[in-house]
C-alpha cells in the first residue's frame, strides 16, 4: 500500500468509529444524516436506462456513492456487533 492509501484507510476507519458513536448516542441525528446521504446516492447499475453508457461524471458519482454506501454499511455492522 502506498502512503496515501494508508492515510485514506486510517481516515475511513476514524470516520466509521465516529459515526458509530453518533449512531449510538444521537440516534435522531444519525437518522437525519443517513436520510440525507441516501437521498444523494445515485441510481446504481444504470437502473435509470440499462442501454445507456455512463458518462465519466456519472462514473465518478457512482464510485462516490458506492463508497458512501460501504461506509454506512460498515457503521451499521459495527454497531450491531457492539450491541450484541
Q: pLDDT tens digit string along 28-78?
A: 999 999 998 887 775 555 555 656 666 787 788 888 889 999 999 999 999
Question: CB neighbours (10 Å) of residue 16?
Answer: 19
Cα separations (Å) of 71 from 5, 52, 54, 77, 83?
Answer: 16, 28, 24, 10, 18
DSSP 53: P
Q: How far apart are CA 11 and CA 73, in angstroms?
A: 16
Contact (CB, 8 A) for 48 and 58: no
Specify the higher pLDDT residue, 21 or 44.
Answer: 21
Amino acid at each position: 500500500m502506498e502512503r496515501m492509501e494508508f492515510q485514506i484507510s486510517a481516515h475511513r476507519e476514524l470516520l466509521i468509529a465516529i459515526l458509530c458513536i453518533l449512531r449510538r448516542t444521537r440516534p435522531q441525528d444519525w437518522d437525519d444524516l443517513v436520510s440525507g446521504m441516501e437521498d444523494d446516492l445515485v441510481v446504481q447499475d444504470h437502473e435509470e436506462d440499462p442501454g445507456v453508457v455512463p458518462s465519466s461524471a456519472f462514473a465518478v458519482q457512482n464510485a462516490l456513492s458506492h463508497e458512501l454506501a460501504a461506509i454506512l454499511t460498515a457503521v451499521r455492522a459495527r454497531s450491531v456487533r457492539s450491541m450484541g
